[in-house]
Structure 1
């Protein structure tokens, strides 16, 4: 009997140590993921429907802090520019320094350096712009359009302001990675394959999926480790009640 009790005590100590370790690791993962996200990402609320249907009016998005030099065609970016009003704005990059951006070809598509770009994210499929335009992007600048080309106030509107309607790369504050609200639309903003044929390709998604995974794993470890003690005591009580005394 004493040997059995010693075994049970040994198993109990090992279990408590493992549960404590699980809680500790879980806390590191859970709290660390939030700290990581706070360091890399900024939340923004979209005030207009200029990026619909990709991002709707009132949607809450998470944007990764990046330098302007990291921007690629197809990225949805948050930027601030004095000419555009100095307020944070969200648009899609369709042209970078040296590009010739034109619209529209016979199929109503945008062309970049003569290459037709299929844009499945448009609010009105097959209509890259209700009016034609042509611009050559100066070095270190970006040409930006909204996905809702009928309502968006973007580079097309500012073409008479100088710089062919573009903004400098260093005006970019962040790149949108995901929608966080409403929950029904939560998810990563897909990188379009439309610009893959052009030099530089498209950017890769940020580490947000990994951050979310760390938070979920951390929460599971914390809950599992915390639940071990009460569960072990309950099972031990049942085992003692089942042992006959003679």
Structure 2
């Protein structure tokens, strides 16, 4: 066997090894990403337009499974509360225990403890609410509003109920991180900067972006490794045919 043949064979075996490793790592990342997402997230279909334009009726979203104590102002959460019909509801948290939530100031903005809050996610931006209200949120409770304030049945509707229309933190079952369907509405749900300067700030982004990165990287390694292995195999066969042809020629 010539030196060129030995070198070519060594490179071929190395290529096949690298291809196999890439596919194996890709499978771990790809499948692991899906398992991780299934453990951390729950799918939810939004039934109404009360949270438009952030999420619309019929949108399929992913809600991170979080404890109610992790929720911050600005989060879009899914919760269950008997006073709200005991069915999953999606709303935005605007006030937490101890806050005084009021609407509206002279500029038509929502205020938290007297501080106006910018809400660029609202469907109608000229006024945070056409219903004038003021509520103090009890400790351990959350005050929730829809982004489509004209159509949303939220804490304003329940002001006469116990706890000034708020719901307990333990009623929260998830925090919505992204819309995944339909494709035209797909995207991450950003944490609003308007609440960032208030005590407690806003919550950190969830792990969904890292999960999607792992799945995407895994898919790339699987396809890339498989393609590299196939190309290497074809080249090896061609090299063998050329060698055999030269021997018998």
TM-score, scaled relative to structure 1? 0.96
Instruction: Look up the SS of the partner of 2:48 in the other structure.
Output: coil
> Per-residue deviation at 1:239?
3.8
Distance (Å, rounded) in 2 between the aligned partners of 1:110 and 1:38: 36
Could you tell me whether the CA contact under 8 Å between 2:12 and 2:236 is conserved in 1?
no
> Per-residue deviation at 1:11?
1.6
Q: How does 1:201-220 map to 2 (within 5 A)?
A: 201-220=201-220
Could you tell me whether the CA contact under 8 Å between 2:16 and 2:232 is conserved in 1?
no
* Match of residue 15 from structure 2: 15
TM-score, scaled relative to structure 2? 0.95
* Match of residue 235 from structure 2: 235
Instruction: Look up the SS of the partner of 1:159 in the other structure.
Output: coil
Superposed CA RMSD: 1.3
Distance (Å, rounded) in 2 between the aligned partners of 1:233 and 1:49: 55
* Match of residue 131 from structure 2: 131
Distance (Å, rounded) in 2 between the aligned partners of 1:73 and 1:229: 51
Distance (Å, rounded) in 2 between the aligned partners of 1:229 and 1:60: 38
Structure 2: which 5+ residue stretches go unaligned? none
Distance (Å, rounded) in 2 between the aligned partners of 1:173 and 1:151: 23
Distance (Å, rounded) in 1 between the aligned partners of 2:28 and 2:233: 26
> Per-residue deviation at 1:107?
1.1
Q: How does 1:83-162 map to 2 (within 5 A)?
A: 83-162=83-162
* Match of residue 68 from structure 1: 68
Structure 1: which 5+ residue stretches go unaligned? none
Deviation readout 1:13-64 (Å, 9 max, x if unpaired):
2111111111110000000000000000001000000000010110010010
How many aligned positions are there?
246
Instruction: Look up the SS of the partner of 1:148 in the other structure.
Output: coil
